[in-house]
Amino acid sequence: MGTRYTARLCAALLFALTAISAQAAEQRAPFFGVASHFLHNKYIYKEKDDSWLTTKTSPAVSDLGTEWVTEQIYALTNKSRALVDDGTLSDVDRAKIEERRRLIDQWLAVHDQKKRKVLLTILAAAPKARNFEQINHDFGQWIAQLVHKHPSIVAVQLHNEPNLRSFWPGSPQDYVDIYRPIALEIKRVNPNVDITVGAISSLSWDKGRDWFRSAMRAGILDFADGVSVHPYNLKVTPEQDPHLSIAATSPNTQLGQAIASFWGEVQSFNQAHKPLKLYFTELGYSSAPNGIAGIGDETLQAKYLTRLMAVYLDARVRQKIPLEAVFWYDLKNDGEKAANQEDNFGLVSADLQRKKPAFFAYKNLISAIGDVSDLNAVDVTSQKADADTILMGWQRSSKRQVIVPFWTTGQSEGEASVKLPAGFDQSSVKATVIDLMSGQGAAVPIASGIANVKSKDYVQVLLIQ
């Protein structure tokens, strides 16, 4: 009897622990992501190679440590790459469509197997396309099937930068009319998937904001669970917004002000008080010297990445902006031309053989921060800090830990004397600084309740626990 009771008790405890573990896994909130382009390969576009295939990129994504990935699918009708029948294709052409769709299933299955979270961007046909109604009906049905079939697809973004006529030649009203039935069909087969709308090309650019205001008046939020933005900083430093006209109240707040301004306007149109999320689905700097976002240096790209991501996470933690995920654009370079902006946004070389400094900086950041679900803002003070030094404070509720990202916006090293937060006893606390560029950690001595650190022009993370 005792043996059977013990066995039952052990089984019950195992079940309880498994349930707790599963609940913890569900509550985990990854935040940092990367943009990928599995459709840009030789099986769809004959002029391209196969380096964007998920079988090729998956090892780099796993090494990076991110769980969030974006992919794109377009309603292509050109016979050489068609994914949708526009009503003019032959039986042979339609058979090729089915073959290409099976390949896409295989590519998505790689993300399924790795238990990633995919934000799938879909581009339907604008009204000027021939037989656009038939195209979009077929396209929407197929996308819904993919969402139903692939558990990795947790969000679907409706179009890409529709405020730019090169991507969307129709009006905001056309966008709402075309995407509403597609969104409803996707939600019918999977009510849990997020539908995110907009994906406009900046936070504060007047023309982008004007387009989105018109779309909100047309009813875009009716079928939305989230709003997407591509908040590129162009060439300006990560703490700034290139289109925001108001002055920052402190060195690290202008970009935060831009985020708050954008989100405040969205909420003013959110008359139904839906619990909308915010997604930053493209952002980054090119390491090329040319172009509007080319900053000309791979090391500077890495440094800016750390600072940009810290500001975005602080918007979520301190400003309580429901920023669900942010996606660096993109995983790998698109080409080999060193002076070409579009070829050099990536974290990895175009052939996937060389990881750039930004890759390692991002990997170290993801490792140092980890789960963001239980982070809360905490005030950190410095008894001595250079004017250019920025400190942020986030406290983890699941364990006794405070995370303090810090850096200088100046060109030289700075200094800060970080006072231990309330409730931390100097006799039992440990402090470690993690350098995100090198990945190295170093113990920091504490004297009189103060941790003295030297800031650099990229993020270091002080862990107090």
pLDDT digits (tens, 9 = 90+) for 279-313: 999 999 999 999 999 999 999 999 999 999 999 99
CATH class, domain 377-464, is mainly beta
Query: How many angstroms separate the CA atoms of 217 and 247, rounded?
Result: 29
**Distant-in-sequence, close-in-space partners of 359: CB < 8 Å, separation ≥ 6:** 60, 64, 347, 348
Percent of the chain with pLDDT over 90: 82
Query: How many angstroms separate the CA atoms of 52 and 290, rounded?
Result: 24
Query: How many angstroms separate the CA atoms of 402 and 421, rounded?
Result: 8
DSSP 359-418: HHHHHHHHHHH---TTEEE----EEEE-TTEEE--EEETTTTEEEEEEEESSSS-EEEEE
- Arithmetic mean of pLDDT, 248-261: 80
- DSSP conformational letter for 246: S
pLDDT, position 386: 64
**Length of the chain (residues):** 465
Cβ proximity of 118 and 152 under 8 Å: yes
Render pLDDT for 261-286 as a digit per residue (tens, 0 to 9): 999 999 999 999 999 999 999 999 99
Q: How confident is the model at residue 420 (pLDDT cuts 50, 70, 90)?
A: confident
How many CA atoms, within 13 angstroms, populate the side-chain half-sphere of residue 266?
30
Which tokens sit at 321? 């902006």
Render pLDDT for 425-454 as a digit per residue (tens, 0 to 9): 888 899 999 999 999 999 999 988 889 999
Question: How many other CB atoms sit within 10 Å of the CB of residue 261?
Answer: 15
**Which CATH code fits 29-373?**
3.20.20.80
pLDDT, position 249: 63
- Arithmetic mean of pLDDT, 32-55: 97
CB burial of 69-81 (b: ≥16 within 10 Å; e: otherwise) equals bbbbbbbbbeeeb
Query: How many angstroms separate the CA atoms of 405 and 253, rounded?
Result: 15
In whole angstroms, how large is the CA radius of gyration of the chain? 24
Render pLDDT for 315-349 as a digit per residue (tens, 0 to 9): 999 999 999 999 999 999 999 999 999 999 999 99
pLDDT, position 3: 38
- DSSP conformational letter for 332: B
DSSP 416-464: EEEEPPTT--TTT--EEEEETTT--EEE--EETTEEEEEE-SS-EEEEE
- Arithmetic mean of pLDDT, 372-401: 84
Q: What angle do CA 246, 251, 254 make, to 5 degrees?
A: 35
Render pLDDT for 106-165 as a digit per residue (tens, 0 to 9): 999 999 999 999 999 999 999 989 999 999 999 999 999 999 999 999 999 999 999 999
Q: How confident is the model at residue 247 (pLDDT cuts 50, 70, 90)?
A: low
Residue reference for tokens 């996470």:
313
pLDDT, position 248: 62
Domain ranges of the chain: 29-373, 377-464
Residue 17 has pLDDT above 70, yes or no: no
Query: How many angstroms separate the CA atoms of 404 and 388, rounded?
Result: 16
Question: How many other CB atoms sit within 10 Å of the CB of residue 336?
Answer: 11
Q: What are phi and psi of 162, to 5 degrees?
A: -70, -10
Q: How confident is the model at residue 58 (pLDDT cuts 50, 70, 90)?
A: very high
**Distant-in-sequence, close-in-space partners of 50: CB < 8 Å, separation ≥ 6:** 41, 42, 43, 56
Percent of the chain with pLDDT over 70: 91
Cβ proximity of 410 and 328 under 8 Å: no
